[in-house]
A and B are shown apart, each in its own frame.
Chain A
Amino acid sequence: MAEVPATADVVVIGAGIVGNSLVHHLTRLGWKNVVQIDKGALPNPGGSTGHASNFIFTVDHSREITDLTLDSVAQYQEMGVFTQSGGFEIARTEERMEELRRRMSSARAWGIEAELVSPSFVKEKVPFIEEDQFIGAFWTPGVGVVDSLRAGTIMRERALATGELTVVPTVEVTGLDTEDGPHGTRRITRVRTTGGDIEAGTVVIAAGVWSPKLGDMAGIGIPLTPAVHQMISVGPCPQLAETDGEISFPIVRDMDTFCYERQHGADMEVGSYAHRAILHEPEDIPSIDQAKLSPTEMPFTEDDFDPQLEQAYELMPELLGAEGAEMRYAINGLLSLTCDGNPILGESEVAGLWTASAVWIKEGPGVGRAVAEWMTHGHSEIDVHHSDIARFHTHQKRREHTRLRTTESFIKTYGIIHPSEQYESDRDQRLSPMHGSQQKLGAVFFETAGWERPFWYESNASLLEHYGDAVMPREHEWDARWWSPIINAEHLRMREAAAVIDLSAFCIFDIEGPEALDVVQGTCVAQCDVAVGKVIYTPVLDAKGGFRSDLTVMRLGDDHFRVVTGGAHGMADRAWFAGHLPESGSTTLTDRTDDTSTIGIWGPRARDILSSLTADDVSDAGFGFLSCREITVASSTGGELTVLASRISYVGELGWELYVPMSQAADLWEALLDAGAPHGAVPAGIGVYGTTGRLEKGYRAYGAELDGERSIVEAGMQRPKVKAADFVGKEAYLAQRDAAPQAVLCTLTVDDHTSASGTKRYMLGGEPILTRDGGTLTDGHGHHPYVTSAGSAPSLGTHVLLAYLPPDQATIGNELAVSYMEELYPVTVGSVDATPLLDPMNERIR
């Protein structure tokens, strides 16, 4: 029986691609006394790495996943375990060709060599493919295969060579012990195993499909599900047997049948994402002894694969039907899926207990590096906030949620997914008190963090005729999918009269106690030592000066601050602030999200409407911009409501955010709509709040313009002065202010939308910005500019794009181009800092 050391500085659970990468990067970054354990034997302990297809297509629509993939490829190459093969993604339909054109956008944006090619081009490189089965292909020459087991061994051996790693295979974790800390926190203390206990203050769960089981041992949710990916291996195929090495022919992804064909020596591996979602519970994965092959190579269910077999045969009949070519290996391989498709990385709510799970081979080494950096410095070079374990809201940690969402998304693994596409399953998790009213108004709901948020209201359809072409209708189905011109009509009405907007999805938490000021001062860039009743808009930085968030803070009392942030990233923000509370426990963080609702009212008539409901002074002199206080508002049923009003705007209009208890929100909503109607006010959706209203004002959004790889200076958000008080990222921020920016966030307008076919096209975001004649631009970071946000600016009558440009291109009036679906459209730089295109002096807000 193997025995483990009694203590460790860090225990890494798992010796798959992620665990091995982690021990390498942790020891490289100076960690001492690292212990790595796995219940299986080495080098293949039986997890998903052991049966992985091991091929890497580099282009993904997500920048985060692409960056992790490119970093992984570089690491695999450095270890000498990467074999470049090239890869095709073939299209059988015109709809797919359009998706491949969109893929070209991502390839250009991320700077990856790629090209759209004809079937005969494919045939030349893959002679056994049937040309008449498809109409075109996306060619990525940099695609290749890796030896992930060998890579794991190399990384483990490098870590061993530092003398700081002890590897103990064939011991199984039986418990994870925690101890209670201040204000309800917990900390990891010990890993119990079949080979003894290890005292450790830092533990990483890198156990792939078994991670949820381990998470449960410490009472944390790691919401992933083991899911089946079927694959078979056919051979020996004479066409392949004649070639040298593992792979000589490019990999083919047959996108419309959701399968791939990948040479593996003399065999052709056919893998499928077309079958029904076959999900397992982590507890139902066999032990090594109970499994026929390995625990994650489950029995092949032929019936599920049969339709795929026929499609693969159609594409490569000569190869797959070759004399002597037999199906020698077939498995239902288990891999990890999550509700949003992203990995689960970072420190859990148990201090010192980290996760690095739901990671595929193509991201493994990159994730290992990023998580090791994060554990060492508190941040990683590659921004991984979409994968932060802190992102999950309570309802997302339910196994049922993961099961339903992955069932829906599995079949979309090779799907054509619109950037605004909504999930259908497990909806209606969080409904605002106004939901019933909104349904009557014909609200079209999109989901954010489980909240059902109206994006527009069909009840406003009558405005379309009123505004005519000013609503900028979109002719192309793709551009208009998950969109409505009603959004623009609501926008115009807001600018003309007023709009009432449900903002219940805001994440709200109060920081109270004697050190409350210290906590917010130390976390926020803006001066928080302000008078009670002031509202602060502030960036929040990590230590390297990258964005953690941007949010608002209200000072409600000397020792009481309220933080308001977006729902999507709110849980991570809450965790960030909670992590900066003092050890003493005297200052607390209380989540108010579930008992507070927010309704916004903005527009030139907002003051008239609000003053018709309140006797309190809401004049500019009596209730200035960036201030907040309680007012009394007449309810729709004749009573009075106490409302916390905050004069701030994300849409560039006069108005307030109104905070009320959930139980009174529906009442306030009706009161505002009733009082607003005579003034022409309408309910408006998040389409206005999140896109049109903000883009006309050049307001930045976290996750689009702002993330860990962007700085305040590059985002054009620097203020003349930096506060004297210390805050996270201050040193880095001061250095950024003194240096020349490597990129500049600019607002661009599209000059002409007409495509070659005469259809007007509207970009949706993610598209590359090029020179007018299509030349590549590169900023000081070596990155290529792409559209971070795109949307209508109805009051300007134009389509607006935000993008970080190289500083020498960031001049007002500079004429560039945006590439959309492989056509160029002329654009002009309209703003090179945060100066809004609409109302540059911000007079409307006053």
Chain B
Amino acid sequence: MTNPLVCVKRVVDSSSEVVLTEDGQGVDGRFAGFTMSAHEECAVELAVQVAAADGGSATVVTLGDADAVEQLRAALAVGCAAATHVVAESATFGPADVARELAAVVRDHEAAGTPHELVLLGNDAADSGDFQVGIRLAYELGWPVVNGVSSVSVSDGEVTASGSGPDGHETFRLPLPAVVTILEGGVAPRYPTVPGRMKAKKVPIEERQTTGSPVGPSRVRLVLPPPSSSNVEVLGQGAAAAPAVVDLFERLGVLSR
């Protein structure tokens, strides 16, 4: 029975034009709304699948302000069974601080009788893109870690993690307990069901304070790159444009030559 812990972060959803908050400390989500990163959606899906495969249950954790409960409920709605909320202003917590807090959650849950043999994270968060929390968490816990895989399965006290890169396909086997960070693409995250959402609404959320103040590296401010100019090239009109379109698709690799 595996009881994975999956870590998610409340981030602003994607849009063509990124809007920053006035203080430059974050991305403004009033237009695009909030979500968890696509990598994390896949991590949640894998956690739910791993738990379901051998009768365990998945727990979701986040570090964030009161609004981050929305992302916990979203994970609960797609199959996580429990949720932990580390209440903190996430923008002030750098990757080392977040890793420390997550390690404390893992240890406390184990002490309380719910050990997590496997911790899944997204490869990187959509807003800060630090790529650090997973490996720092593994270091804190003294567990093995593999980064950037897209599928995970557990059997016989081992986790098998695999992913594809530009140079081919990689498969790792790690002894449990272990930390794995997930890249999107290996699994299709499910949408919530109506009963799932209704059930998620009623799950009590474990709320906890941070174990200490942030001490690690932190953000100075976000700045937007200068807008890239978009050059529209009209390839032609009607049937006469077909060769140019085929040529373009070949150059883009959509069609093979």
Q: Which of A284, A310, A326 contacts B191 (CB 8 A)?
A: A326
Q: How far is the CB of A828 from chain B (nearest CB, A)?
A: 56
Contacting residues of chain A (267-289) with chain B, CB-CB under 8 angstroms: 284, 286-289
Interface string of B26-51 (1 = CB under 8 A from A): 00011111100000000000000000
Is A412 engaged at the interface, CB distance under 8 Å to the other chain?
Answer: no
Q: Which of B14, B16, B19, B191 contacts A327 (CB 8 A)?
A: B191
Could you list some 30 contacts between A and B, CB below 8 A? Answer: A234-B193, A286-B31, A287-B17, A289-B17, A290-B16, A290-B17, A291-B31, A291-B32, A292-B13, A292-B31, A298-B31, A298-B33, A299-B13, A299-B32, A302-B73, A302-B197, A306-B201, A309-B194, A309-B197, A310-B198, A313-B194, A313-B195, A313-B198, A320-B194, A325-B193, A326-B192, A326-B193, A327-B191, A327-B192, A327-B193
Interface string of B89-103 (1 = CB under 8 A from A): 000000000000000
* B191 lies within 8 A of A328 (CB): yes
Ranked nearest first, the 8 interchain pairs of A and B with the lowest CB-CB distance are A299-B33, A286-B31, A326-B191, A289-B17, A289-B16, A292-B32, A320-B194, A290-B31
Q: Which of A292, A306, A313 contacts B33 (CB 8 A)?
A: A292
Contacting residues of chain B (160-213) with chain A, CB-CB under 8 angstroms: 190-195, 197-198, 201
Is A579 engaged at the interface, CB distance under 8 Å to the other chain?
Answer: no
Is A321 engaged at the interface, CB distance under 8 Å to the other chain?
Answer: yes
Q: How many residues of A contact B (CB 8 A)?
A: 25
Contacting residues of chain A (226-283) with chain B, CB-CB under 8 angstroms: 234
Given contacts A300-B33, A321-B193, A328-B191, 13 further A-B contacts (CB under 8 A): A284-B30, A286-B15, A286-B31, A289-B17, A290-B17, A292-B32, A292-B33, A299-B13, A299-B29, A302-B73, A320-B194, A321-B195, A326-B191
Contacting residues, chain A, for B19 (C-beta < 8 A) = 290
Q: How far is the CB of B22 from chain A (nearest CB, A)?
A: 15
Given contacts A326-B190, A326-B193, contact A299 B15 (CB under 8 A): no
Minimum CB distance partner of B18 in chain A: A290
- Report the separation of the CA atoms of residues A287 and B15 in the bound assembly, to the nearest whole angstrom: 10
Contacting residues, chain A, for B31 (C-beta < 8 A) = 286, 290-292, 298-299
Contacting residues, chain A, for B16 (C-beta < 8 A) = 288-290
Q: How many residues of B contact A (CB 8 A)?
A: 24
- Report the separation of the CA atoms of residues A273 and B14 in the bound assembly, to the nearest whole angstrom: 28
Interface string of B137-178 (1 = CB under 8 A from A): 000000000000000000000000000000000000000000
Interface residues of B (CB under 8 A from A): 13-17, 19, 29-34, 70, 73-74, 190-195, 197-198, 201
Contacting residues of chain A (320-334) with chain B, CB-CB under 8 angstroms: 320-321, 325-328
- Report the separation of the CA atoms of residues A288 and B14 in the bound assembly, to the nearest whole angstrom: 13
Q: How far is the CB of B205 from chain A (nearest CB, A)?
A: 14
- Report the separation of the CA atoms of residues A289 and B31 in the bound assembly, to the nearest whole angstrom: 10
Minimum CB distance partner of B78 in chain A: A326
* B194 lies within 8 A of A327 (CB): yes
Given contacts A299-B29, A302-B70, A326-B190, contact A292 B195 (CB under 8 A): no
Q: How far is the CB of B252 from chain A (nearest CB, A)?
A: 21
Contacting residues, chain A, for B193 (C-beta < 8 A) = 234, 321, 325-327
* A309 lies within 8 A of B198 (CB): yes
Interface residues of A (CB under 8 A from B): 234, 284, 286-292, 298-300, 302-303, 306, 309-310, 312-313, 320-321, 325-328
- Report the separation of the CA atoms of residues A288 and B16 in the bound assembly, to the nearest whole angstrom: 8
Contacting residues, chain B, for A284 (C-beta < 8 A) = 30
- Report the separation of the CA atoms of residues A802 and B56 in the bound assembly, to the nearest whole angstrom: 74
Q: How far is the CB of A30 from chain B (nearest CB, A)?
A: 30
* A291 lies within 8 A of B15 (CB): yes
- Report the separation of the CA atoms of residues A320 and B30 in the bound assembly, to the nearest whole angstrom: 30
Contacting residues, chain B, for A325 (C-beta < 8 A) = 193-194
- Report the separation of the CA atoms of residues A306 and B200 in the bound assembly, to the nearest whole angstrom: 11
Minimum CB distance partner of A307 in chain B: B201
- Report the separation of the CA atoms of residues A310 and B192 in the bound assembly, to the nearest whole angstrom: 14
Given contacts A298-B33, A299-B29, A306-B201, contact A289 B15 (CB under 8 A): yes
- Report the separation of the CA atoms of residues A486 and B13 in the bound assembly, to the nearest whole angstrom: 60
- Report the separation of the CA atoms of residues A555 and B101 in the bound assembly, to the nearest whole angstrom: 86
* A327 lies within 8 A of B197 (CB): yes
Minimum CB distance partner of B193 in chain A: A326
Minimum CB distance partner of B17 in chain A: A289
Q: Which of B13, B15, B190, B194 contacts A321 (CB 8 A)?
A: B194
- Report the separation of the CA atoms of residues A302 and B190 in the bound assembly, to the nearest whole angstrom: 17
Contacting residues, chain B, for A327 (C-beta < 8 A) = 191-194, 197
Q: How far is the CB of A537 from chain B (nearest CB, A)?
A: 56
Q: How far is the CB of A169 from chain B (nearest CB, A)?
A: 13
- Report the separation of the CA atoms of residues A234 and B74 in the bound assembly, to the nearest whole angstrom: 16
- Report the separation of the CA atoms of residues A234 and B31 in the bound assembly, to the nearest whole angstrom: 24
Q: How far is the CB of B80 from chain A (nearest CB, A)?
A: 16
Which of B29, B190, B198 is packed against the most chain A CB atoms within 10 Å?
Answer: B198
- Report the separation of the CA atoms of residues A456 and B198 in the bound assembly, to the nearest whole angstrom: 50
Contacting residues, chain B, for A310 (C-beta < 8 A) = 198
Contacting residues, chain B, for A299 (C-beta < 8 A) = 13, 29, 31-34
Contacting residues, chain B, for A313 (C-beta < 8 A) = 194-195, 198
Minimum CB distance partner of B232 in chain A: A1
Q: How far is the CB of B119 from chain A (nearest CB, A)?
A: 26
Minimum CB distance partner of A328 in chain B: B191
- Report the separation of the CA atoms of residues A46 and B17 in the bound assembly, to the nearest whole angstrom: 16
* B198 lies within 8 A of A290 (CB): no
Contacting residues, chain A, for B190 (C-beta < 8 A) = 326
Q: How far is the CB of B191 from chain A (nearest CB, A)?
A: 4
Minimum CB distance partner of B16 in chain A: A289
* B15 lies within 8 A of A290 (CB): yes
- Report the separation of the CA atoms of residues A713 and B16 in the bound assembly, to the nearest whole angstrom: 62
Contacting residues, chain B, for A298 (C-beta < 8 A) = 31, 33
- Report the separation of the CA atoms of residues A328 and B191 in the bound assembly, to the nearest whole angstrom: 6
- Report the separation of the CA atoms of residues A342 and B184 in the bound assembly, to the nearest whole angstrom: 48
Contacting residues, chain A, for B192 (C-beta < 8 A) = 326-327
Contacting residues, chain B, for A303 (C-beta < 8 A) = 70
- Report the separation of the CA atoms of residues A325 and B192 in the bound assembly, to the nearest whole angstrom: 9
- Report the separation of the CA atoms of residues A302 and B197 in the bound assembly, to the nearest whole angstrom: 9
Contacting residues, chain B, for A287 (C-beta < 8 A) = 17
- Report the separation of the CA atoms of residues A321 and B13 in the bound assembly, to the nearest whole angstrom: 27
Q: Which of A292, A306, A309, A328 contacts B14 (CB 8 A)?
A: A292
- Report the separation of the CA atoms of residues A291 and B31 in the bound assembly, to the nearest whole angstrom: 6
- Report the separation of the CA atoms of residues A313 and B194 in the bound assembly, to the nearest whole angstrom: 7
Minimum CB distance partner of A287 in chain B: B17
- Report the separation of the CA atoms of residues A320 and B192 in the bound assembly, to the nearest whole angstrom: 11
- Report the separation of the CA atoms of residues A292 and B28 in the bound assembly, to the nearest whole angstrom: 12
- Report the separation of the CA atoms of residues A146 and B29 in the bound assembly, to the nearest whole angstrom: 33
Contacting residues, chain B, for A289 (C-beta < 8 A) = 15-17
- Report the separation of the CA atoms of residues A287 and B74 in the bound assembly, to the nearest whole angstrom: 27
Which of B19, B31, B70 is packed against the most chain A CB atoms within 10 Å?
Answer: B31
Which of B30, B32, B195, B197 is packed against the most chain A CB atoms within 10 Å?
Answer: B197
- Report the separation of the CA atoms of residues A28 and B31 in the bound assembly, to the nearest whole angstrom: 39
Minimum CB distance partner of B19 in chain A: A290
Minimum CB distance partner of A232 in chain B: B194
- Report the separation of the CA atoms of residues A303 and B74 in the bound assembly, to the nearest whole angstrom: 11
Q: Which of B32, B34, B201 contacts A290 (CB 8 A)?
A: B32
- Report the separation of the CA atoms of residues A289 and B192 in the bound assembly, to the nearest whole angstrom: 27
Q: How far is the CB of B160 from chain A (nearest CB, A)?
A: 27
Contacting residues, chain A, for B74 (C-beta < 8 A) = 302
Minimum CB distance partner of B190 in chain A: A326
Contacting residues, chain A, for B32 (C-beta < 8 A) = 286, 290-292, 299
Contacting residues, chain B, for A300 (C-beta < 8 A) = 33
- Report the separation of the CA atoms of residues A302 and B76 in the bound assembly, to the nearest whole angstrom: 14
Contacting residues, chain B, for A292 (C-beta < 8 A) = 13-15, 31-33
Contacting residues, chain A, for B195 (C-beta < 8 A) = 313, 321
- Report the separation of the CA atoms of residues A351 and B14 in the bound assembly, to the nearest whole angstrom: 43
- Report the separation of the CA atoms of residues A326 and B30 in the bound assembly, to the nearest whole angstrom: 25
* B15 lies within 8 A of A234 (CB): no
- Report the separation of the CA atoms of residues A215 and B61 in the bound assembly, to the nearest whole angstrom: 48
- Report the separation of the CA atoms of residues A231 and B180 in the bound assembly, to the nearest whole angstrom: 36
Minimum CB distance partner of A299 in chain B: B33
- Report the separation of the CA atoms of residues A328 and B190 in the bound assembly, to the nearest whole angstrom: 9
- Report the separation of the CA atoms of residues A302 and B33 in the bound assembly, to the nearest whole angstrom: 11
